[in-house]
């Protein structure tokens, strides 16, 4: 499944940083300058919408379903909903093409980061007005960067449980429908969005998924499987029991094996 987010107005998803003397509030973008919607922040928005629906229909959507889906703050559980960052359509193809050009001496200056950012974003200026005299307050001018309206973002999601699956999907679908504004300056005309949950065909999801007995070979043959892990954002891979703020320079096999073991245990 994935969630499609259409920007009906300019949007500012703040990165918490700015460009000294030029931009006071900047948006979040990747190394190429392409803006994206951070998964953690959108998951919080989605939970807030789901809780609003639960308040209206408590007999249909209990707090337990919300905690199972989004995590329980009291127990620090992660929850069954996995959500990726929201990227523009064909993001990976575009990003790879830009990187390819930037790594080529002949086309190195074809897609500078500032040019890519300017293509996807606008610059807005805001100021506070003194109500007594009707003029702007001193030192109140703020310059913010926004993502241009009309852009579409797609967030891949997955519910890692089959218990109450249909009800959880229905809750997410209803939550998407009531999300109307996100980001900063919602009362100043920014951040209007239209969200839609798009489901994959369940037959396509289950296609090729075999039982454990089907996977095991009767002749006990061993197979070598090659996999590729592409990091779509900065990642911390720490040693077991180590400092969670310090990362290894590699992803160990035990990390990957532990992930697959956890997913398998949840399925059985």
What digits encode the pLDDT tens for the residues 52-70?
A: 998 888 888 888 888 888 8
For residues 193-232, one letter each, b for 16 or more C-beta atoms within 10 angstroms of the residue's C-beta and e for the rest, the string is: bebebeeeeeeeeeeeeeeeeeeeeeeeeeeeeeeeeeee
What CA–CA distances, in Å, run from 41 to 83, 188, 193, 208?
Answer: 10, 20, 15, 33
Question: What b-and-e string marks burial along 144-179, b requiring 16 or more CB atoms within 10 Å of the CB?
Answer: bbbbeeebebbbebebeeeebeeebbebbbbbbeeb
Read off the pTM.
0.68
- Predicted confidence at residue 1, as pLDDT, reads 84
For 117-130, give one letter per residue: b (16+ CB within 10 A) or e.
Answer: beebbeebeeeeee
Instruction: Give the pLDDT score at 8.
Output: 92
Residue 9 C-beta-side C-alpha neighbours within 13 Å: 15
Of 42-51, 124-133, 165-174, the poorest mean pLDDT is in: 124-133
Whole-number pLDDT of residue 17: 63
Query: How far is C-alpha 97 from the chain's CA centre?
Result: 22
Q: How confident is the model at residue 6 (pLDDT cuts 50, 70, 90)?
A: very high
What pLDDT, in 10s, does the model give residues 133-159? 777 676 666 788 888 989 999 999 888
Q: Which of 78-87, 225-234, 236-245 has the highest mean predicted lDDT (pLDDT)?
A: 78-87
């Amino acid at each position: 499944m994935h969630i499609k987010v259409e920007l009906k107005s300019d949007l500012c998803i703040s990165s918490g940083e700015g460009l000294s003397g030029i931009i006071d509030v900047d948006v979040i973008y990747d190394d190429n300058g392409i803006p994206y919607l951070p998964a953690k922040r959108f998951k919080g928005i989605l939970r807030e919408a789901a809780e609003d629906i639960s308040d209206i229909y408590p007999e249909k959507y209990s707090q337990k379903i919300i905690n199972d889906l989004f995590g329980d703050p009291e127990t620090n559980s992660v929850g069954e909903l996995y959500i990726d960052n929201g990227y523009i359509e064909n993001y990976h193809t575009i990003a790879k093409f830009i990187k390819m050009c930037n790594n080529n001496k002949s086309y190195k200056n074809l897609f500078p980061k500032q040019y890519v950012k300017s293509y996807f974003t606008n610059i807005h200026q805001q100021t506070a007005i003194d109500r007594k005299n009707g003029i702007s307050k001193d030192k109140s001018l703020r310059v913010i960067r926004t993502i241009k309206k009309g852009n579409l973002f797609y967030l891949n999601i997955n519910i890692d449980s089959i218990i109450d699956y249909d009800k959880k999907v229905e809750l997410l679908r209803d939550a998407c429908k009531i999300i109307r504004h996100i980001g900063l300056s919602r009362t100043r005309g920014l951040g209007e969005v239209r969200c839609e949950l798009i489901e994959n065909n369940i037959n396509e999801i289950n296609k090729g998924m075999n039982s454990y007995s089907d996977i095991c070979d009767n002749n006990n043959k061993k197979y070598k499987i090659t996999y590729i892990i592409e990091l779509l954002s900065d990642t911390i891979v720490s040693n077991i029991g180590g400092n969670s703020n310090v990362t290894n320079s590699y992803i160990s096999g035990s990390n990957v094996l532990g992930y697959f073991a956890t997913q398998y245990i949840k399925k059985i």
